[in-house]
Amino acid sequence: MDDVALATDGGDGVTGEVAVLGAGMHPWGKWGRSFVEYGVAAARAALADAGLDWRDVGSIVGADTVRGGYPGYVAGATFAKALGWQGARVASVYAACASGAQAVDTARAQILAGLADVVLVVGADAAPKGFFRPAGGDRPDDPDWLRFRVLGATNPVYFGLYARRRMAVHGDTPEDFAQVKVKNAAMGALNPNARYRGRVTAEEVAASAVVADPLRLLDICATSDGGAALVLSSLEYARRHGHTEPVRIRAVSTVTPRYPNTVLDLPDIATDSAVAVDPPGQTFRTSIAQAAYDEAGLGPEDLSLAEVYDLSTALELQWYEDLGLCGEGEGVKLLRDGATTLGGRIPVNVSGGLASFGEAVPAQAIAQVCELAWQLRGKAGDRQVAGARVGLSANQGLFGHGSAVIAVR
């Protein structure tokens, strides 16, 4: 931990770190307005948090919003226009649920390359009601289209299959899954940006409707509207402007799977054969966090907290193991021991997670880093993790998009 506190770039940026000067969000919900409005609100909040004006921004990176019903992508320039054209560089990225982390990575690369001192990262969405669906038309070469049309596998079906796998392999139970919701709802009740701010009991989870057996309605995250933004800068710029001890992004992982991929992940509907080639030493999901640890020179034992992608309660348990917080099959024990709740050894999803927010796809990975920034500054209010120094966010986007960010203070 001392290495984190003492890390410095000597003014030349050689460590690859960038400063988080500002973080902002538009609260999650179903607001019935344009995603642009949510993104602009989040961007202005992040700029105010940084003490900067939009005209101070040298580049803007947007996490793409996919418009329902047709494959349109709009982000970076959309937000730049809404904030007021001022000549900034612009970039847009799409990586499904990992879009926000790739936007952060793009911003970091621009800063470290000397292309901009200050970069604004924005993601926002107005999600459809109900399940996400494929865009219209016939696209038999599109694996996402195929999993809907051939298997009828909506996202909750995938979540249910993953839960069944944990039950079969590790002995997890629906009661264990329910306790993840109970924990996250208690944290979401403390977060003013969360959509769902009511505490939930295990009995209420068990009484909710079955959606994809064994998962019930309260085991699965909703689709939501929302926005999140970050203002990133070089460490030298941060020091010049009075940010002497900023939160710093130390690592960003955007890895892809390795062949053969023997653990099924949608939208793929089959695994690779391992007859001729041995599987890699770690699964895709474990490689996501490992790449971030390797870059940061840290390990799971250094973490103060983690924000993970709890599309379902069962998937949160899987992340415990994939992040190395416990051994394989020990996720439930970690949960039962209270290690992942506020005040525990390694709090997970103290923001409330997707259980409390729902999915606003381009904003999600950015929102995770916002939470890390507030926690590492000691500004998270009633959900503050005492003495937080290192935080990790992790999620996974369809089509092989890994996503993990490590932030330090």
pLDDT given for residue 2 in this prediction: 42
* Cα 51 from Cα 406, distance rounded (Å): 24
Q: Which amino acid is at 23?
A: A
**CB crowding 79-118: b at 16 or more within 10 Å, else e:** bbeebeeeebebbbbbbbbbbbbbbbbbbbbbbbeeebbb
CB 231 within 8 A of CB 22: yes
The DSSP bridge partners found for residue 138 are: none
- Beta pairing partners, 74: 65
- State the Cα–Cα distance between residues 181 and 189, nearest whole angstrom: 12
Alpha carbon 204 to chain centroid, angstroms:
27
**CB of 60 closer than 8 Å to CB of 90:** yes
- DSSP category for residue 220: B
The answer to whether residues 99 and 62 touch, using CB atoms and an 8 Å cutoff, is no
The tokens of 79 are what? 């937000």
CB of 206 closer than 8 Å to CB of 16 = no
Angle between helices 313-322 and 155-170 in degrees, nearest 10: 60
- What is the Cα–Cα distance from 377 to 247, expressed in whole angstroms? 7
User: Rounded distance, CA 313 to CA 332, Å?
Assistant: 11
- The structural domains of the chain, ordered by start, are 12-131+224-240 (3.40.47.10)
CB 188 within 8 A of CB 349: no
Q: Residue 68 has what pLDDT?
A: 53
- Below-70 pLDDT ranges, the chain: 1-14, 67-72
For 3-41, the pLDDT digits (tens) are 444 344 444 433 799 999 999 999 999 999 999 999 999
The answer to whether residues 248 and 20 touch, using CB atoms and an 8 Å cutoff, is yes
**pTM for the whole structure:** 0.94
Strands 72-74 and 89-93: unpaired
pLDDT confidence of residue 66: 78
User: Cis before residue 260, ω within 30 degrees of 0?
Assistant: yes
**Is it true that the peptide bond before 267 is cis, omega within 30 degrees of 0?**
yes
| C-alpha to C-alpha distance for 232 and 217, rounded to whole angstroms | 37
3-state secondary structure of 95: strand
**pLDDT at position 143:** 87
CB 104 within 8 A of CB 248: no
Q: What is the pLDDT of residue 8?
A: 43
